[in-house]
Chains A and B, each alone.
Chain A
């Protein structure tokens, strides 16, 4: 089983609908992230959470919200989906920093492809 699991893997929805993407992890990491990937733009950070009580906006948080239900679960919501939110969404985790040591390694899920019509 994957260490970082995203559901659903594929979703087609209509403009104005509420959609939730879920992420769960078994790595025991404190930090969780949501990214979106668009052609020609790479991966852009939407939200990140360093623990259950710590939620932070990323580069492109408008139109999105998140919930950190537990250390292992981090969900992304689109309250009213619009077509330009059509993208591939990735959840990722990382371990906490240990002193000044930074591994930089993010562990990604397999992605959730969202299409908004």
Chain B
């Protein structure tokens, strides 16, 4: 049973518009959440993270929102650029688990010029 779920395998957005990628989790022990981006033929790279003590973290065009009561987080990219086209993985970890990351299945974002 997947503890971190990304229910949208793909998302297409027009350049300049907002991209919203969603992630749900089931394990209430998760207290740290991350987003990774992956281009073809490359390894995933860290994008942004958020601790459960916060509900928002912003880094340039990227903002992650956390709704603990709904066990939901989202990544907003504004404005979207063609170079943002990649697979985005949501990941989560819990204290006491040696901080292992549990990954979602990924969402392929395509930003159309």
Report which residue of A48, A90, A105, A107 has the largest number of chain B beta carbons within 10 angstroms of its beta carbon: A105
Question: What is the CA–CA distance of A43 and B41 in the complex, to the nearest angstrom?
Answer: 15
A105 to B34, CA, bound (A): 8
Q: A45 contacts B44, CB within 8 Å?
A: no
Task: Say which one of B13-21, B73-81, B95-103 lies at the interface with A.
Answer: B95-103
Are A50's CB and B44's CB within 8 A? no
On whether the beta carbons of A43 and B49 are closer than 8 Å, the reply is no
A48 to chain B, nearest CB (A): 7
Q: Are B103 and A48 in contact (CB under 8 A)?
A: no
Docked complex Cα distance between A48 and B36 (Å): 19
A110 & B42 in contact (Cβ 8 Å cutoff): yes
B65 on interface, CB distance cutoff 8 Å: no
Q: Which residues of B contact A58 (CB under 8 A)?
A: 100
Contact assessment for B9 and A40 in the assembled complex, using a CB-CB cutoff below 8 Å? yes
List, in ascending order, chain B residues with CB within 8 A of A43's CB: 44, 89, 91, 103
Q: Is the CB of B98 within 8 A of A50?
A: yes
B22 contacts A by Cβ under 8 Å: no
Q: Does A114 contact B (CB under 8 A)?
A: no
- Picked from B2, B6, B44, B93, the residue with its CB within 8 Å of the CB of A90 is B44
Asked if B99 and A97 sit within 8 Å, CB to CB, the answer is yes
**Distance in Å from the Cβ of B66 to the closest Cβ of chain A?**
14
**Nearest-Cβ distance from residue A7 to partner chain B, whole angstroms:** 14
Inter-chain CA distance A4–B46, complex, in Å, is: 14
B2, B45, B93: the one contacting A108 at CB < 8 Å is B45
Distance of A35 from chain B, by nearest CB (Å): 8
The reply to whether B43 and A109 form a contact with Cβ atoms under 8 Å apart is yes
Q: Mark A63-94, 1 if CB is under 8 A from B, else 0.
A: 00000000000000000000000000010100
Check if B101 sits within 8 Å of A42, measured CB to CB.
Answer: no
Q: Which 9 A-B pairs have the closest CB atoms?
A: A108-B43, A43-B103, A42-B105, A42-B103, A105-B46, A104-B34, A104-B49, A108-B44, A110-B43
Chain A positions near chain B (C-beta within 8 angstroms): 4, 35, 40-45, 48, 50, 56, 58, 90, 92, 97, 102-111
B contact set with A: CB distance below 8 Å: 2, 4, 6, 9, 32, 34, 36, 41-46, 49, 89, 91, 93, 98-101, 103-106
